[in-house]
């Protein structure tokens, strides 16, 4: 039996970018990065919690982990090593940040195309009720859309919910 997909966004779930700028959240470390396309003179500040790596690796027993982030393949270079993650497949978005059907988040239709009818869990900070409705109406397999507060990042209850959902399939 094929494992369900766990589609992982970086900014929000792993990098709580919306937290107060002057206060790094507990458990997070500051990293300065210059991914491709970063044109600013100052490097990008990214907060990552090294504890998320073991949590995600534990979930890889039940899931196939996939980057679902605008970092695309660069998540393997800039994010994964700080968390102790192996190289992961990624969604290569055909288009980013454009208009989306039915008021959904721009990633949603591409997530469904990538999943191709497979069960999946998706963690992202931009998921809305419209995305839930869109997925329910167009995806026959099980799907868990888990909204993550971009001020907090992934928390223990999120990891528990992901483990419980996969176990219930």
Nearest to 7 by CA among 79, 136, 111, 110: 111
Q: Mind listing the pLDDT tens digit for each residue in 69-88?
A: 999 999 999 999 999 999 99
Q: Mind listing the pLDDT tens digit for each residue in 94-125?
A: 766 666 767 788 898 999 999 999 999 999 99
**The tokens 């491709």 sit on which residue?**
36
CA distances to 14, 25, 28, 78, 169 from 49, rounded to whole Å, are 7, 9, 4, 14, 28
Contact 121, 166 (CB under 8 A): yes
Rounded to a whole number of angstroms, the CA Rg of the chain reads: 15
Q: What is the pLDDT of residue 101?
A: 67
pLDDT beyond 70 at 161: yes
What mean pLDDT do residues 55-67 have? Answer: 98
7 forms beta bridges with 66, 122
Pick from 23-32, 35-44, 101-110 the range whose average pLDDT is largest: 23-32
Helix, strand, coil percent content, the chain, rounded in steps of 5: 30, 20, 50
How close are the terminal C-alpha atoms of the chain, in Å?
A: 11
pLDDT beyond 90 at 38: no
């Amino acid at each position: 039996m094929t494992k369900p997909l766990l589609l992982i966004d970086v900014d929000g779930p792993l990098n709580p970018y919306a937290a107060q700028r002057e206060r790094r959240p507990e458990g997070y470390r500051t990293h300065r990065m210059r991914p491709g396309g970063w044109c600013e003179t100052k490097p990008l500040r990214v907060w990552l919690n090294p504890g998320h790596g073991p949590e995600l690796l534990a979930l890889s027993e039940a899931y196939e982990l996939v980057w679902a982030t605008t970092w695309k393949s660069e998540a393997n270079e800039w994010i994964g090593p700080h968390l102790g993650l192996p190289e992961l497949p990624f969604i290569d978005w055909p288009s980013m940040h454009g208009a989306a059907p039915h008021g959904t988040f721009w990633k949603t239709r591409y997530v469904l195309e990538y999943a191709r009818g497979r069960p999946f869990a998706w963690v992202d900070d931009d998921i809305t009720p419209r995305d839930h409705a869109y997925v329910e109406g167009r995806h026959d397999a099980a799907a868990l859309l888990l909204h993550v507060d971009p001020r907090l990042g992934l928390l223990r209850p999120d990891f528990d919910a992901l483990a419980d959902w996969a176990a219930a399939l």
